[in-house]
Structure 1
Amino acid sequence: MSLKNIYTYGGRPAQRNLTVACLQANKAAGIKMTQVSAQTREEAEACERLGIDLITIADCDIDEIRAGAPNTFVTGSQTMVQYVSEDEALAAAIACAEKGADAIYTPRGLKTVERLSHEGLCVQGHLGLVPRLSTRVGGLRIIGKTADEALRLWEDFRRLEDAGAVAVEVECVAAEALTEIGKRTSIVTHSIGAGSGGDIIFSFMEDICGDVENPPRHAKAWADMLSIRKTLAAEREKGLAGFRDEVKAGTFPHEPHQVPMAPGEHEKFQEALDKWQPVHR
């Protein structure tokens, strides 16, 4: 992997596998990229070691994730309810970028996108199905299955582009709609449940690794961590039950799980205790 020399938003020299310019060039060339979520340093290390192109994280996890993946393009995500005002969102975005985030994701409105973008931050928005706003579109469903709705989505793309976003998460959108829109927008598209037309194909770590009881329709698992986790949980309960039962029965701790006094010392100790008299009565 050829690394690019950069300075972070916080002014520190660093190296990255990709820059925003690389993302845009890959989009133009039709080169597909991968993005995975990570919550721990261990997960971040695995992503970087296995060549995942981009990692998306909770902004509060930036220190741990950046330590695990020092060279991977990282997007620090803000949730819908973390920061109420544009000033709070901006302050948090700057703090995350200062610690090494390469882009900031926000699901908030265009004013927030514009505010962050005007400070030179690389901003990723969210279009299509925004789960936390799903009541506005009639629930969890695919967006853009009709030409009229796909056209409205295209108009949302144009507004987001005008607000200064360089990327957008496109969730649960009809595949053909994203393919056609992607040809006509400069925004780098992150597809999750929106087909193969995205520039970046995004999936959550738990979906990829099979660690979800009821995965969404668009998810695919290449591993089975859930059954392993269940096995571990069963072994934990087995251990706890065994410990409880033997303590209650008086069979633990017992030889060889305890250390006796030296030979003859127990008897001497008993004699001393029998002869012991308090100094003050």
Structure 2
Amino acid sequence: MRAKDIREKAGEEPITMLTAYDAPTAELVDAAGVDMILVGDSIGNLRLGYESTLPVTVDEIESATAAVARAAQDAMVLADMPFLSFGADEDEAVENCGRMLKEADADGVKLESGPHTVELTRRLTRIGVPVQAHLGLTPQRENETGLFRQGTDEEAARRIVDLAERHEDAGAFSLVLEHVPANVGAAVSEALDIPTIGIGAGPECDGQVLTVDEVIGLSEGVAPFSKAFGDVRGEMQDAISGYKDAVESGEFPAEEHSHYEEDVDDLY
């Protein structure tokens, strides 16, 4: 799956997208036929023990992206560019994004977007780096905006629509809309020819994205716009407790879990 394939799905069939941060998860997501795998900067708080996404480094995203790309055969793999990997020096930003394609085998990058990323998007797409834009709630700006629903008044909503159109004109192949009113998601989707991917943006986006942890039920809870489709956390707790109890009771390892060699019977 490539940017061209995703772009052509706009208005034709729903687009599916999930995060993944390692090869085993990516293999399962890919086998399920999900269109895009995002190596999200959410790896920070979901895998690396950070309190937010802000400490995530380029090297951490590159390493995780390479693992995901090795496992994914069909899905488009996107590297989520972390805080301060772009937005300061444009040449450095281009280099950071290029690393994801050259060294981690990503198929494109996602940028948490604003007025400052329009020209960067244009430059990247001109040199062959597919860009997915991201508007609405942008967690890398949480110290400025907070983690609240965006586009809740007419001025803010119009600003989102305008920025979406500017990023489409700059060459973005798709746009993530996070935590905005459903009618704003519908308005942006109507205004663009490229597909919109919603996360808490209503059903009228061209596709949807969630973190895999929430989908499989690995996280302790889910966002109000998300849904758990499994209970992996419960299954893991049961398995880990079962292992501990079996070791302490002497039930594990049993005879079938052990191998004996006659030639070493007289070792002691």
Same-fold status (TM-score > 0.5): yes
Matched, 1:91 2:95: yes
Matched, 1:107 2:112: yes
Give CA-to-partner distance per residue, 1:52-98, whole Å, 9 cap, x none: 11111144323321221122211122111345532232223222213
Matched, 1:180 2:187: yes
2:28 aligns with one of 46, 52, 58 = 46
Task: Work out which of the two has the higher radius of gyration on C-alpha atoms and give 1 or 2.
Answer: 1
Pairs within 5 Å for 1:7-22: 18-22=1-5
3-state SS, counterpart of residue 165 of structure 2: helix
Partner residue in 2 for 1:223: 230
CA distance in 2: counterparts of 1:161 and 1:37, whole angstroms:
23
Give CA-to-partner distance per residue, 1:177-217, whole Å, 9 cap, x none: 11121111123211111111221210111010011112111
Scaled by the length of structure 1, the TM-score of the pair is: 0.73
2:141 aligns with one of 133, 149, 158 = 133
3-state SS, counterpart of residue 112 of structure 2: coil
Which letter does structure 1 place at the counterpart of 2:106? A
Partner residue in 1 for 2:203: 196
Kept in 2: contact 1:203–1:219 (CA 8 A): yes
Moved more, 225-234 or 65-74: 225-234
Partner residue in 2 for 1:273: none
Give CA-to-partner distance per residue, 1:217-270, whole Å, 9 cap, x none: 111011001112222343455478679xxxxxxxxxxxxx9x9974xx98xxxx
Q: CA deviation at 1:118?
A: 2.8
Residue 116 to residue 242, structure 1, CA distance change in 2 (3 Å):
farther
Which letter does structure 2 place at the counterpart of 1:80? F
Moved more, 35-44 or 229-238: 229-238
Q: Output the aligned Cα RMSD.
A: 2.8
Which letter does structure 2 place at the counterpart of 1:76? A
3-state SS, counterpart of residue 132 of structure 2: strand
2:70 aligns with one of 60, 67, 71 = 67
Kept in 2: contact 1:60–1:96 (CA 8 A): no
Which letter does structure 2 place at the counterpart of 1:133? R
CA distance in 1: counterparts of 2:209 and 2:199, whole angstroms:
5
Moved more, 195-204 or 100-109: 100-109
- 5+ residue gaps in structure 1? 1-17, 244-256, 267-281
CA distance in 2: counterparts of 1:261 and 1:221, whole angstroms:
53
Matched, 1:118 2:126: yes
Give CA-to-partner distance per residue, 1:125-180, whole Å, 9 cap, x none: 2100112213433x222222333321121112123223332222110011111112
- 5+ residue gaps in structure 2? 40-60, 251-259
The percent identity for this pair of structures is 22
CA distance in 2: counterparts of 1:239 and 1:88, whole angstroms:
53
Which letter does structure 2 place at the counterpart of 1:162? D
Q: Which is bigger in relative contact order (C-alpha 8 A, separation at least 6)?
A: 2
